[in-house]
Amino acid sequence: MEWSGLALLILVGAGIVTTGLPATFLLIAAAILGALLGLVTDKISLSILSALPSRLINLLENDLLQALPLYVTMGLLLGRLPVADALYRTSNALLPKRASAPLVSTVLLGALLGPMNGSVGASVLGLSHVIAPRLTAQGVSAARRDAMIAVAATLGVLVPPSLVLILLGDAMLSAHTLAVTATGRSDRVINTQDVFHAALAPAGIFLLLCLALAWYVGRNQTISEAVSGRPSPQQIMLAVVCVVALVGLLGGVVTGYFYAVEAAAMGAFALLSSGLMTGHLRASVLREVLHDALAVTGALFSLLIAATTFTLVARLLGTDALVNNLVAGIPGGDVAAVAVVLGVLGICAFVLDAFEIIFVVVPIIIPPLLIRVADARWVAALVLLTLQASYLLPPFGYALMMVRGAAKAPAPFGDFLRALCPFLIAQWVSLLVILMAPRLVHLGEDTTASNRTGAPVSAQEIDRRLNKMLPPPPEIEPK
């Protein structure tokens, strides 16, 4: 019976690829199938399933999830306001007049706007709409243009306070709470702020590698200066205001001066106000933006409620205990266990996107890993890098497919992959560096307040505690 949860998850993956139905519907269908199986075999009682509405109400009142509509709205507004264009032109004008300036500017733009864009999809569309025509006009080859946009669009995943980071932070908090309770360790439970701090070093390493590569691969290309377009004084002013505001918001969140949700609200409010005042957001455009914000938020939230249903059923079927045993049985030390789990996440990335992995796979596979590996910050940073890598994973990586879908004349796939290859290597190098040097995610951390380990607990004791803890009591009244 324990295997049925994993079998259902594989079924969901197969269904996503073969039917084209939304992952939400397939997760709900799999959860219903699992629940029926559990009811028939007396593994699950109906009273335990009635805890599901309480879990959904928890989602409806979750402070952190309020970031969802804010980020989505910001992404949509950035796509309609001339911010990206102003930043790109100003960056190009400020950089030394080298052939690689357009590529370096694209990377900088991705890092700056990505965290505010809400999703990789929004970043791809924004960059494809604003930057791709300029790169083409400046003589950048189609393959290199598409590769740069795909890479730049995923930078927002790593740079705080991105939506992926916020959602992963919430998932890591839950997973770490389970692990700490199960093992009886005296660790301080990781929170979203910790995940932000943990992401800084990996984000910095990957960004530096990308900038260096953009400079290196672009240094010999021939570009047309005439079409690069000098920025107007208004565009320079807009770019400066944007950079100051974005750095201020990022700094405020990283230093804990205000919460990520508040930063997102400030960003959305500033964009909305400027759009209304400058006349870029007329009533019809605003209606369209708000409708899209509702629909895109719904896509993410429905995935979350479906994943909540599925993971509840999987736990009731005993899948969590099975996964715990499998993770505990991985031979080798911490690095081996983490590498195997990251490999599983990588395989999942062939059929699931980053949000699906965070909502469905992380709650199942990360608690057992954190039972074995005490350094939750390190695990969070590695999961984040793996999620970012999943967007660029050939041949089905979401960013790759989106870029090719958005391009008017996409490059041949082979050329595109060749142009992408150095950046994929940089990504793997970043992952390897963080895997082998966990200290990098603890830079500036107060080590006296961080992970402390208690007396070791036997595997049987961990099993007993997990079994005692995980099946939710039938009457949960969230307060």
Partner 1 sequence: MAWLHRLDRLTGQIIAAARWLALPLILLLFLQWPLRDLVGCCSREANDLGQIIFALFVAVSVTAATRAGTQLASDALAHRFSAHTRHRLRQAAATLAVLPWASFIFIASKPIVLASLLGLEAFPDSYNPGYFIIKATLWLLALLMIAQAFLDIFLPPRQGDA
Taken in order 329, 331, 334, 338, is the CA torsion positive or negative? negative
Under DSSP, is residue 281 helix (H, G, I), strand (E, B) or coil? coil
**Furthest-apart CA pair in the chain: how many Å?**
74
Question: Does 262 engage in binding with partner 1 (CB under 8 A)?
Answer: yes
The binding track of 458-477 with respect to partner 1, each residue x by CB under 8 A or -, is -------------------x
Two tokens at 106?
Answer: 């694209």
Question: Does 179 engage in binding with partner 1 (CB under 8 A)?
Answer: no
Report the candidate in 465, 445, 449 with the shortest Cα–Cα distance to residue 457: 465
For partner 1, give the closer residue by CB, 310 or 423: 310
Question: Does 260 engage in binding with partner 1 (CB under 8 A)?
Answer: no
For partner 1, give the closer residue by CB, 10 or 56: 56
Count each helix (H run) and each strand (E run) in the chain, helices first.
22, 0
Task: Please report where in the chains the tokens 């057992």 appear, as a residue.
Answer: 368
Question: CA 153 from chain center: how many Å?
Answer: 12
Tell me which stretch binds partner 1 (CB under 8 A): 60-68, 236-244, 339-347, 440-448. Answer: 60-68
DSSP string of 381-412, one letter each residue: HHHHHHHHHHHT-TTT-HHHHHHHHH-SSPPP
Q: What letter would DSSP give residue 254?
A: H
Tell me which stretch binds partner 1 (CB under 8 A): 24-32, 381-389, 412-420, 457-465. Answer: 24-32
The binding track of 68-87 with respect to partner 1, each residue x by CB under 8 A or -, is xxx--x--------------
Question: Does 193 engage in binding with partner 1 (CB under 8 A)?
Answer: no
Q: How far is the CB of 72 from partner 1 (least distance, A)?
A: 9
Find out whether 171 and 127 touch, Cβ atoms under 8 Å: no
For partner 1, give the closer residue by CB, 3 or 269: 269
The binding track of 331-370 with respect to partner 1, each residue x by CB under 8 A or -, is --------------------x-x-xx--------------
Q: For the chain, how far is it from start to end, CA to CA, in angstroms?
A: 33
Burial class (CB in 10 A: 0-12, 13-18, 19+), 129: middle
Q: What is d(CA 270, CA 276) in angstroms, rounded to the nearest whole number?
A: 10
Tell me which stretch binds partner 1 (CB under 8 A): 25-33, 95-103, 420-428, 439-447. Answer: 25-33
Of the candidate residues 105, 128, 309, 386, the single one contacting partner 1 (CB under 8 A): 309
Mention every residue, 6+ apart, whose C-beta is less than 8 A from residue 282.
Answer: none
Of the candidate residues 40, 42, 61, 409, the single one contacting partner 1 (CB under 8 A): 61
Of the candidate residues 98, 282, 291, 468, the single one contacting partner 1 (CB under 8 A): 291
Find out whether 31 and 310 touch, Cβ atoms under 8 Å: yes
Tell me which stretch binds partner 1 (CB under 8 A): 175-183, 230-238, 284-292, 314-322. Answer: 284-292
**Site residues (vs partner 1, CB under 8 A):** 16-26, 28-29, 31-32, 49-50, 52-54, 56-57, 60-61, 63, 65-66, 68-70, 73, 258, 261-262, 264-266, 268-269, 272, 287, 290-303, 305, 309, 351, 353, 355-356, 396, 477, 479
